Amino acid sequence: MKAPDYSIPENWDRIFILDDNERPVRVFDFGVKVDWQLTAGKRYELRDEMPEYGVVVQTYFSCWASMHDDKQPTFWTTLKGNGLDHIFHSSTWEEAQDKHRRVIEKVRRKLPHKGAVSDGA
């Protein structure tokens, strides 16, 4: 039985992983990407579920970059729920961790707590 081919054509959108120095490296095999995401890539993930505000904040390395420009892939911090859907981009893991923290702080400052009771005023 022939092994499945997970190769990525060179002229297709670009797929990256991070090397040991946190630099993006293009890969041409989805299996390599998936293996990286399930192992080394886990250390580049943050997730905070905030049910008291009805949102989830998640930060991760995107692995994807378009062929339509020369931009490198970025770390994405997503805010979803409570009518919100925002994506923030960071170029380094340190910046992404800080952005994740700041998004959580802003949620706590700006969104109403789901347990809060309105005084009707």
Total number of domains in the chain:
1
So what's the pLDDT on residue 116?
54
Report the candidate in 103, 100, 57, 59 with the shortest Cα–Cα distance to residue 81: 57
| Structural domain that includes position 88 | 14-110
Report the candidate in 15, 39, 19 with the shortest Cα–Cα distance to residue 29: 15
pLDDT by residue (tens digit) across 39-63?
A: 999 999 999 999 999 999 999 999 9
Across the chain, what does the average pLDDT equal? 89
Q: The pTM is what?
A: 0.82
Rounded distance between C-alpha atoms, residue 63 and residue 110, angstroms: 31
- Please check whether residue 116 lies inside any domain of the structure: no
- Please check whether residue 115 lies inside any domain of the structure: no
- Please check whether residue 120 lies inside any domain of the structure: no
So what's the pLDDT on residue 16?
94
- Please check whether residue 3 lies inside any domain of the structure: no
So what's the pLDDT on residue 117?
47
Rounded distance between C-alpha atoms, residue 66 and residue 45, angstroms: 22
**pLDDT greater than 90 at residue 65:** no
Amino acid of residue 14: R
